[in-house]
Amino acid sequence: MLRHLQKALFALTVAAAVHSAQAFSLIGPREAWQTPEIGYDPLGFDIGGPLNLGEEYRWNLKTITYGIDESFLNYFGQKGVDAVNKAFAILNSLPAFSQMSANLAEFPTDTRRANYRASALGLQDVKSALLGMLTEELGLASPERYAWTLRDRRVINAIPYYLVIKRNFDPVTLSPTPYVNGVLYTYGILEFPGPWWDAIEVQVDPLASGFTAVASDIDSLVTSAAGSGASGPGLGFGEFYAGLTRDDVGGLRYLYRASNVNTENVAAGASLANSSSPWWPAGQTGGTNAPVGVSPRPGVDHLTFQQGRYDSMMGQFITQTNQYQDTYITNSTLVTQTIQRVLTQPDILISAEDLGLDGGGNPIFIRRTFAAAPVWINNDALNGQAALAGPGVISGPIVLTFNKIGPFIYNLGPFDGGSFLDEITGFGGWVWGSFDGTANEPVVYPVGSSIQELEQQVLNGY
């Protein structure tokens, strides 16, 4: 037995020396074999499943609009709006993917930071939670969750058989890999109540700084309260992301790099700008504002997020027109056309609502819903003959909702029929906040909350 363990450790050491230690996973509509029994949306929180290379989903817009509705503004106030803008600013600060180095060494493998005052108060960072959601909405799944994943489970002659695969890819070589941000993962197959089974990632080096990808935080947010353990620890209270990690950027580069050419339709609701111009794209004639539609299109290479304006008096978003250069390929030549989109609502809407509780009685952190369907448009039929899950495009509007239940207290018992439950015997749950690594005082939500009041509650034991 010892000899086998020595061989296994040697093999892992060799693998660590030979293979790149980066990885990303892709998300899209779940395939037919991705059932709850083998760990795909067993709790009803997932919006999709992990996809293979070439089956990815992405936006084909250079400018994506976002908006903050009245429910979020009323609960989180201007400081909450500032936190939202900081999350989008991190994405806007990324250079064009074509300008990044081949190995992405300019990006860190761990961007987690801690504010210990916020940690002691059980604060959950709004900016970081949103950043985790946004990486998913841009086409990335959790790499730490899908470094290993079940393809099948079946019972033959009373013996269960498991087929384990990788849905995690190196951003440089594009080969499947069990690494994420320099950390090597193996797996253990566990059974959960239901029952359902999953290949749970385990760090080979328990002392390594693991589960660092921002794209993995979304799984932690939606499953941590349910206690599945399927997605790793994620951010703890008082922790926040200072930016995207190397593997997050590597996944986005794969999706949106100019050399990733997929046959796609032009964005929904698009028309040609300045339709009276005599300079028409190939195949177009004057007098029409219909753009070139289905064509091979490269990735947009750089994403820009622009905030939509909200009219608080009218309770609606102000209609705006966005223009951008759409690039497509015809006769082996890159051609551009100036596209405009008239928007009455943003592509991504940030909202707030009482999201209720999960099966364990815990308030749900966040929810991702789609205001219109289909958000994932499968273009497999445009790209080949094989029956695949993609590639495709992501099309809004998308709604990302924060729980606005407010500060809450847990009471447990009574166990003996005589215990008395009150505010003193309870203990506080998590609270939304905003904080960073400076000496600035953390912000506590909702509007009007005081960090001093929250500290007093903690000191009093509830």
Q: What is the pLDDT of residues 242-288, one digit of tens each?
A: 999 999 999 999 999 999 999 999 988 888 986 544 444 444 444 45
User: Does residue 12 fall inside a structural domain?
Assistant: no
Alpha carbons 28 and 392: distance in angstroms, whole number: 9
The pLDDT assigned to 3 comes to 42
Amino acid at 365: F
Alpha carbons 168 and 163: distance in angstroms, whole number: 16
User: Does residue 15 fall inside a structural domain?
Assistant: no
Tally of CB atoms within 10 A around 195: 8
Give the H or E element holding residue 11.
helix 2-18
User: Does residue 2 fall inside a structural domain?
Assistant: no
pLDDT classification of 454: cutoffs 50, 70, 90 = low
CA 251 to each of CA 109, 169, 221, 388, 407: distance values in angstroms, whole numbers, following the listed order = 13, 9, 20, 20, 36
Nearest to 166 by CA among 54, 48, 52: 52
User: Does residue 8 fall inside a structural domain?
Assistant: no
167-196 pLDDT, tens digit per residue, is 999 999 999 999 999 999 999 999 999 899
pLDDT classification of 222: cutoffs 50, 70, 90 = confident
Alpha carbons 95 and 304: distance in angstroms, whole number: 10
User: Does residue 284 fall inside a structural domain?
Assistant: no
Give the H or E element holding residue 78.
helix 70-92
Expressed as residue numbers, the domain containing 331 is: 20-278+293-459
Pick the range with the lowest mean pLDDT from 207-221, 223-237, 374-388.
223-237
Report the number of distinct structural domains present in the chain.
1
CB-neighbour burial class of residue 82 (10 A; exposed 0-12, middle 13-18, buried 19+):
middle
Tokens, residue 314: 């009218």
Residue with the two structure tokens 């094989």: 386
Confirm if 147 and 266 have CB atoms less than 8 A apart: no
User: Does residue 3 fall inside a structural domain?
Assistant: no
Alpha carbons 207 and 225: distance in angstroms, whole number: 25
User: Does residue 1 fall inside a structural domain?
Assistant: no
pLDDT classification of 233: cutoffs 50, 70, 90 = low
User: Does residue 166 fall inside a structural domain?
Assistant: yes
Q: What is the pTM of this model?
A: 0.89
Q: Would you say residue 425 has pLDDT above 80? A: no
281-292 pLDDT, tens digit per residue, is 444 444 457 899
